[in-house]
A and B are shown apart, each in its own frame.
Chain A
Amino acid sequence: MKTKRADWVILAVSLLLFGGLSLYVMFQGQDGAYAVVTVDGTEIASYPLDTDLTTVIEGYDGGENVLEIKDGRAKIISADCPDGSCTHQKAIHADQETIVCLPHRVVVLIRSGEENEIDALTR
């Protein structure tokens, strides 16, 4: 059972897709202005990125995540969830970037300054 041409085609297509998608993500990112915190699908708070602060987010099931905003970037600096993978995610600042804590159903989403009217209506 040797590797066949189709294998390398599959590999090449995956890598090309990766390249294309990452370019797309890199170039459409513009700086955001707000960090919007959502717990289990409902928006609970929104913090401007230009003021430093540290705050505790109460997640689903009573879990706690500590959100820090510093130098225009948002990051989860500690959490009491079992895996703590949200604390390993890098600090975010570009529009539509997210940090997710699945066990507590917490999403931190960066939004740009000008509120889109359609977004405001449909929310």
Chain B
Amino acid sequence: MRSQGRTGIRRLAVLAVFAAFAMILSYVEILIPFSFGIPGIKLGLPNLMTVLILYIGSDRSFSVRLADAAIVLIIRIVTVSLLFTDVYAMLYSLCGGIISLLCMWLLSRSDRVSPVGCSICGGIMHNAGQLLVAVAIVSQLKLVYYLPVLLLAGTITGFLTGILSGLILNRRGVQESYDRFFEG
């Protein structure tokens, strides 16, 4: 990315829009009752935003993609937890979100994986991260009993958000208008 100044302000504006959209997705997710009866498993709609930020635009280095996605992720989780849920939920989301972001970022660097595969791994890792916090807090959980349903939930939700983000990225004009916003 070019130096500070105008580009920095544009980046700030874009990230603010992304963060707002991620918050809306989080809120929608809270409104939809979706539970396997297992703590920490969610639909993963906000994951869509993370995938989009990792893949959108052509003139961005991989470290900038990671930084952008991390900023939006953390803003989203902190604000949504304070507004709608509680501090425990924030802890789970943060751990799951950061692990899944790192995993997806690594995969997004590879040309052989599209957003779909990336998002599946992200979904699984998100649930795995949340389970880790649950195990750390409750310390009695038998991990193996939660793994299957956690894997399946992560795979399905990750697959769906991956397809969705692929559709968005493939729409004509999405990448171009993002690039054009940073030109000049």
Which stretch (A5-13, A48-56, A63-71) binds chain B? A5-13
Q: Give A43 Cβ to nearest chain B Cβ, in Å.
A: 9
Interfacial chain B residues near A109, Cβ < 8 Å: 140, 142
Given A14-B151, A96-B145, A100-B39, the answer on whether A7 and B138 have CB atoms closer than 8 Å is: no
A77 at interface, CB cutoff 8 A: no
Q: Which of A9, A82, A96 makes the CB contact (< 8 A) with B142?
A: A96
- Pick the most buried of B110, B115, B138, B155: most chain A CB atoms within 10 A of its CB: B138
**A1-23 vs B, Cβ < 8 Å mask (1 yes, 0 no):** 11111111111001101100110
CB pair B39–A14 under 8 Å, yes or no, is no
B137 pairs with A105, CB closer than 8 A = yes
User: What A residues does B166 contact at CB under 8 A?
Assistant: 1-3
A4 to B113: give the CA distance in the assembly, Å.
Answer: 6
A32 CB, min distance to chain B CBs, angstroms = 12
B-chain residues with CB within 8 Å of residue A21 when the two chains form the complex: 144, 147-148, 151
Q: Count of B residues near A, CB < 8 Å? A: 39
B77 within 8 A of A: no
Of residues 112 through 171 on chain B, the ones whose CB sits less than 8 Å from some CB of chain A are 112-117, 120-121, 124, 134, 137-142, 144-145, 147-149, 151-152, 154-155, 159, 162, 166, 169-170
* Residue contact A6 to B113, C-beta cutoff 8 Å: yes
Q: B148 contacts which of A4, A25, A82, A90 (Cβ < 8 Å)?
A: A25
The listed residue with most B CB atoms (<10 A of its CB), out of A5, A38, A102, is A102
Tell me whether B55 is interfacial, beta carbon within 8 Å.
Answer: yes
A residues 31-47 with Cβ under 8 Å of B? 38, 41
Q: B152 and A107: CB pair below 8 A?
A: no
Known contacts A85-B39, A98-B142; A1/B148 CB under 8 A: no
**Beta-carbon nearest neighbor of B113 in chain A:** A6
A–B pairs, 21, beta carbons within 8 Å: A1-B115, A1-B169, A6-B117, A7-B162, A9-B117, A11-B159, A14-B154, A21-B147, A25-B145, A85-B37, A88-B35, A88-B37, A89-B37, A90-B37, A96-B142, A98-B140, A100-B138, A102-B88, A102-B137, A103-B88, A105-B137
